[in-house]
Amino acid sequence: MSKIHITTKVNGEEVEFLADPRDTLLDCLRDQLELTGTKEGCSTGDCGACSVTVDGTLVCSCLMLGVEAQDKQIETIEGMAEDGELHPLQRKFIEHAALQCGFCTPGILVAAKALLAKNPDPNETEVRYWLAGNLCRCTGYDKIIRAVMDAAAEMRGAA
């Protein structure tokens, strides 16, 4: 099958790649653009390890085709720290020991950032339901939820 030329923006930078029509956006990010921070845990939309935002909307990049990425604004974990400065969520995850193996972490950080963009002051239940599509097998979620709530508080200037 012939490949399709795609031009799009990832983390603010213009990129181009050749996508097999069957390649997912996740495949293209990882294999064509060497952005391996976005993880594959299931490829069926069930684990959230592949979470990215496309034009501001949180998506499972394993459920979107690479060829659908033409002329989008894609944000991945690699773009979360700005100019070497960690995002508050990233800092709070380290501080709260909210990761063990760290494999779910990129997806959860991207998803949590999308939550805080929508709702800067979520309660615990709202955080739990928003992150229900992001599986973590190591932590039991406790420290993840605390880290997100703490980062939200800091970002609101409440901490």
Partner 1 sequence: MAKDTANELRIVGTRPDRPDGLDKVTGRARYGADISAAGLLHGAVVRSPHAHARIVKIDASKALALSGVKAVVTRADFPTGLTGEAWDLQENTMAGERALYDGHAVAAVAATSAQLARDAAKLIEVEYEILPHVTDVDAAMAPDAPIIREGAADHSVPEGLHPNVVRYIEFGHGDLEAGFAQADIVREHQYKTEAAHQGYIEPHACMGQMGADGKGEMWVCTQGHWFIRKMCTQVLGLDASQLRVTPSEIGGGFGGKTTIFMEPLSLALSRKAGGRPVKIVMSRSEVLRATGPTASASMDVKIGMTKDGKITAGSATFRMQGGAFAGAPVDMALYCAFAAYKVPALQHVGYDVLANRPKAAAYRAPGSPMAAFAVESLVDEMCTELGLDPLEVRVKNAAQSHETSSFGPKFGVIGLNETLAATQAHPNLSVPLGPNQGRGIASGFWFNHGGDTSVSMALGEDGTVTVSIGTPDIGGSRASMAMMAAETLQIPYDNVRVNIVETGALGVNEPTHGSRATFATGKATVEAAQSMIVEMCKRAAAKWGIEPEAVEWRDGAAHPAGPNAGEYPPMTIGEIGAAMSNTGGPIAGHHESVPAGVGESFGTHVVDVEVDPETGRTTILRYLVVQDAGRAIHPAYVEGQYQGGAVQGIGWALNEEYVYDDMGRLQNPVFLDYRVPVASDLPMIDTVIVEVPNPGHPYGVRGVGETGIAPPLPAVANAVAAATGVRMRHLPITPSKLLSAIKASKNG
Which stretches of the chain bind partner 1, using CB under 8 A?
20, 22-23, 27, 30-31, 34-44, 46-47, 49, 76-78, 80-81, 86, 90, 93-97, 99-106, 109, 124-125, 127-129, 131-146
Beta-carbon neighbour count of residue 16 at 10 Å?
Answer: 11
Q: Between 127 and 136, whose beta carbon lies closer to ligand FES?
A: 136
Smallest distance, partner 1 to C-beta of residue 87, A: 9
Smallest distance, partner 1 to C-beta of residue 119, A: 15
Q: Between 44 and 57, whose beta carbon lies closer to partner 1?
A: 44
Which residues fall within 8 angstroms of residue 144, CB to CB, at 6 or more apart? 93, 98, 99, 108, 131, 136
Collapsed DSSP state (helix, strand, coil) of residue 101: coil
What is the spatial distance between Cα 155 and Cα 120, in angstroms, rounded to a whole number? 8
Smallest distance, partner 1 to C-beta of residue 75, A: 12
What is the CA angle 100-148-153, rounded to 5? 145
Q: Which does 37 bind (CB under 5 to 8 A by kind): ligand FES, partner 1, none?
A: partner 1
Q: Between 27 and 150, whose beta carbon lies closer to ligand FES?
A: 27
Residues in the site for ligand FES, rule: CB under 6 A?
Answer: 40-43, 45-50, 60, 62, 99-104, 136-139
φ, ψ (nearest 5 deg) of residue 82: -110, 125
